[in-house]
Structure 1
Amino acid sequence: MNTQNGLKENMEDMMDDASTLLNHTDDMTDDSMVQARKQLAEAMEQVRNAYEVVQKKAVEGAKATDKAIRNNPYAAIGIAAGVGVLIGYLISRRK
């Protein structure tokens, strides 16, 4: 399972659990419970919106990166090699 699918599944599970909680407390009329349910519903909507925005930006970033690599393959190889050398150097200094 890759990270994106795992994150999506975790997010869906969390939203399902919160929805189940809201449904199970539907008959409770205590003012504090009503307020808590309202806050949970608002938080769920904010999380859902934030997740959609993050997912959209991630896809846009991946597409832009893919386009840049395809337009400049040698520069991308050079940058990747440079980053690899730098990481190797930093790791070798730690020992």
Structure 2
Amino acid sequence: MRKLTMAEAVGTAVPTGRLIDRGGFRRYDEPGFRTHDEPGTHTHAVPEVFCIFQGSGTIEIDGAPADRFSAGDVLLIEPGEDHHLINDGAVPLVFAWMHLQP
């Protein structure tokens, strides 16, 4: 997992040779909300990018807290990394996510 600022991510968040295949926009109001909180791991065979627009929290990678994030950060999740965003801020967590295909 890599954490970048929006300024650093321009031109680098989508690795060379990859295209945005699909994505979405999410808002989670509840403090303590954990994305993909179903049993088992949550991984992809392709990289995933999260752009954080509002709120803050912790990114969990492979079952352990990896880093804090806040509005303006871009998170690049590598293929195979089990990942979850945990909202721990005072305002709703708002982000966009994108899966990257070769």
With normalisation by structure 1, the TM-score equals 0.19
Kindly indicate which of the two structures has a greater share of residues assigned to strand.
2
Q: Return the index of the structure with the highest Cα Rg.
A: 1
Higher RCO, Cα 8 Å, sep 6+: 2
Kindly indicate which of the two structures has a greater share of residues assigned to helix.
1
